[in-house]
Chains A and B, each alone.
Chain A
């Protein structure tokens, strides 16, 4: 079976959990004989994926050391009704002009040389490919006035891919939450997210759809598997042209990230992808239900494939390096609506009534951080709180290792890999029931994110009852060994097979 997978990123250059998930899933699939071409917007040259062919949509390069070189492209005539055809034919230079190739090669060269995350590099490339006639000055003006957003999105919306939902279009500048699609490793991306995805996400999505379509022209696939909304337009287009079934894989929904503040255009892209897909894969039953509720997709069409984690040895280091006398309760993740930081603060206030020397660490940054600091002050518990900001590397390991309890109070978490990370440090965890990971974990405490009394009670219990900690940690250590990508692949392959059977 040969499949085309459309991704948005691949390790080591990742901004969220999506790249990690793709690595784990493709590795396990390849081990089971599935042949995979994996397409990302760009390659950095450091991707290590010997198990498959990894392609950068924007360049003619395939991954060095990959199995097969790209065959000579076979020109597929554009059907006039093709969703992307208008956009592409409107840009004849893009389809045929050597400038396109030159620009792409220049991009690859720059990307390899330039420091990752330097905004100037990529932001020039994107419009340069969409609008090769724009000069840098005009481009900067357009960015400054916001006109470029409108232009790029207008072009996407003009195509058949997107039918915006009724109502006013979302505010284009309010896309910060979309910087980290599919992100579970929220603590690892703050500094690079803006640079990585840029402000002009929609034009990137459009560019990816176009260049991906060109990139795989003439190749034959049994099916097309697209990960999250950014790749859906590309998936829809390619599957349509190839006459292959489309699977769309939902790692997170716009609703998860923004709740009722969801960006309508992103929701619309999601919706089109879900409609066009032969089958939808959700990372949890929680997400399956949410997809059905938000988009009206029939539950029969949605299969659940839980994420895995890489087996890793538990980390015992740092446990003695405590910086505080009292027991430590940890929140670690983006401080955003989705992660439910305010429920952590409210629970903390209740815990302190019972365990006055407890210390609460809210590690991470995000748009709700100032509000959380103000809330802590209002509650008069500033002395019991630490806000170390974004932590990484050794500091991240130390933070996990010195915590007595890890809490993930997410309001809406499609899967949520961070609790598994905490468990690998032998930390007992509390997860909200509004998370996919709560479906696969037996040895964690579970609570509704809004039930702060119960959350507090669970924290107190973990701090006061060594037997509870011991039993949970011992059993969790065993449990996380069974949450691996091989299990995910074994669930996914029968889904592929059933799609191919029709």
Chain B
């Protein structure tokens, strides 16, 4: 009996304000509170609230046979509390239905996995604590920032005791394998759930694309494609940004109607059901080991880490922030630690990408700045101030 597994990413970074060279040494508030509040409230109104409402109704109407999973970053939850607490309440309501699974990631949506393993572990711990306290759940499944994954990360997460991890089903890694089976990390019990990127991106990216041959995408058509996979796998993993509903794909595109109608249409085929990631790994055995010969992510055409480390500016900025680790820890100041960690959020480096064509359009869509160069300048000015004012010798330090 094959299954569909939905997983949605919920994340909002603390965006930096345009921080010029002349502010260095004078201005120690780095984040654009106004913008961050605006974005969170806008996304809450367009996506989080109506989408959560839709999910809740679907769960009730199907008596819990419709199921979904979320990863909600710590920085997103912090900002919900600050700017739109009703959003967090609605997630809590969903979590209590029994049909919603919370999965873990790094609290700061960071790239620590690639730069600072101890820090990585701590950010995962923080997120686990937060999910327990906010939602009363203990995640068994992990997703790394932007589905960044390689064999080493697989080992680290297996060491952390997770039962499964969510990954991108990149063609060159899967090779002859189908994404519609469960795999496991080489030499470990931890399972891997690979995103079916074709069917996921049909919803997330192509849903409203009028130039697409399959436009318009109806729930009937999509359910037909899923049913067409019968006998060709155990699970179809549909992983995407939660903002797909109402933000990337506006309400006017019909995305909410699509969502409302899809479960019933999926259930018209008696063999198919909808499971959460933990239910998937409990039911389906791993077909075999899945080794990775490269680092994969779900970003850009390249599906690698070039979205965050592709150019010299990004590499410099990343080297800079992670080099501060020991100095920050020595200060033993929780505010400073939180500040340093907010500056690790991967979005800061994503804005500095110098990609071309369609990738650039996606980066621009998310960036609050005039382009990658300004993003880098603001970030490095903040680094300069952090070094000069915050990490300076004791007598010159400012209080946080």
Interfacial residues, chain A to chain B (CB-CB below 8 A):
350, 353-354, 442-443, 445-446, 453-454, 456-458, 460-461, 465, 467-468, 470-472, 475
Contacts and interface: CB of A to CB of B under 8 A. Distances in A.
B40 to A, nearest CB: 26
23 contacts: A350-B22, A353-B22, A354-B22, A445-B373, A446-B370, A453-B22, A454-B20, A456-B21, A456-B22, A457-B377, A457-B381, A458-B377, A460-B21, A461-B376, A461-B380, A465-B377, A465-B380, A467-B312, A467-B313, A468-B380, A470-B312, A471-B313, A475-B354
B362 to A, nearest CB: 15
A475 B354 CA distance: 9
Of A446, A458, A471, most B-chain CB atoms within 10 Å = A471
A471 B354 contact: yes
A465 B370 contact: no
B20 A445 contact: no
B312 A471 contact: yes
A121 to B, nearest CB: 50
B311 interface: yes
Nearest to A479: B356
B258 to A, nearest CB: 35
Interface in B14-43: 18, 20-22, 24
Contacts of B371: 442, 446
A457 B312 contact: no
Contact of B22 (A457, A467, A471, A472): A457
B317 to A, nearest CB: 8
B354 A445 contact: no
Interface in B376-397: 376-377, 380-381
B373 A468 contact: yes
Contacts of A353: 22
A353 B22 CA distance: 9
Contacts of B279: none
B316 interface: yes
A497 to B, nearest CB: 25
B67 to A, nearest CB: 44
Interface of B: 18, 20-22, 24, 311-313, 315-316, 354, 370-374, 376-377, 380-381
Contacts of A456: 20-22
B315 A461 contact: no
A438 to B, nearest CB: 10
A354 B377 CA distance: 15
B345 to A, nearest CB: 20
A457 B370 CA distance: 14
Nearest to B380: A465
B374 A468 contact: no
A353 B25 CA distance: 12
A468 B313 contact: yes
B20 A468 contact: no
A457 B376 contact: no
Given A467-B315, A468-B376, A471-B354, A453 B20 contact: yes
A456 B21 CA distance: 7
B304 to A, nearest CB: 18
Of B21, B372, B377, most A-chain CB atoms within 10 Å = B21
Nearest to B317: A467
B22 A468 contact: no
B374 A465 contact: no
Given A454-B20, A456-B20, A468 B377 contact: yes
Contacts of A461: 21, 376-377, 380-381
Contacts of B313: 465, 467-468, 471
A471 B381 CA distance: 18
Nearest to B20: A457
Contacts of B22: 350, 353-354, 453, 456-457
B25 to A, nearest CB: 9
Nearest to B316: A467
**3 A-B pairs with least C-beta separation:** A457-B20, A460-B21, A457-B21
B374 A445 contact: yes
Given A446-B370, A465-B377, 15 more contacts: A354-B22, A442-B371, A454-B20, A457-B20, A457-B21, A457-B22, A465-B313, A467-B315, A467-B376, A468-B313, A468-B373, A468-B376, A471-B312, A471-B354, A475-B354
Contacts of A472: 373
A475 B360 CA distance: 14
A445 B313 CA distance: 14
A329 B374 CA distance: 19
A432 to B, nearest CB: 13
A12 B369 CA distance: 43
Contacts of A460: 21
A350 B311 CA distance: 29
Contacts of B374: 445
Contacts of A453: 20, 22
Contacts of A457: 20-22, 377, 381
A471 B377 contact: no
Given A442-B371, A445-B374, A461-B377, A471 B311 contact: yes
A475 B312 CA distance: 12
B21 A354 contact: yes
A456 B24 CA distance: 13
A180 B250 CA distance: 51
Contact of B316 (A445, A454, A458, A465): A465
Contacts of B316: 465, 467
A475 B313 CA distance: 13
A461 B370 CA distance: 15
Contacts of A465: 313, 316, 376-377, 380
A315 to B, nearest CB: 23
Contacts of A350: 22
A350 B21 CA distance: 9
Nearest to A430: B373
Contacts of B315: 467
A461 B22 CA distance: 11
B121 to A, nearest CB: 30
A465 B381 CA distance: 10
A84 B24 CA distance: 64
Of A350, A445, A468, most B-chain CB atoms within 10 Å = A468
Contacts of B311: 467, 471
Nearest to B18: A454
A391 B336 CA distance: 52
Contacts of B21: 354, 456-457, 460-461
A443 B355 CA distance: 11
A468 B373 CA distance: 7
Contacts of B312: 467, 470-471
A445 B371 CA distance: 9
Contacts of A470: 312
A285 to B, nearest CB: 17
A62 to B, nearest CB: 46
A458 B377 CA distance: 7
A267 to B, nearest CB: 33
A405 to B, nearest CB: 13
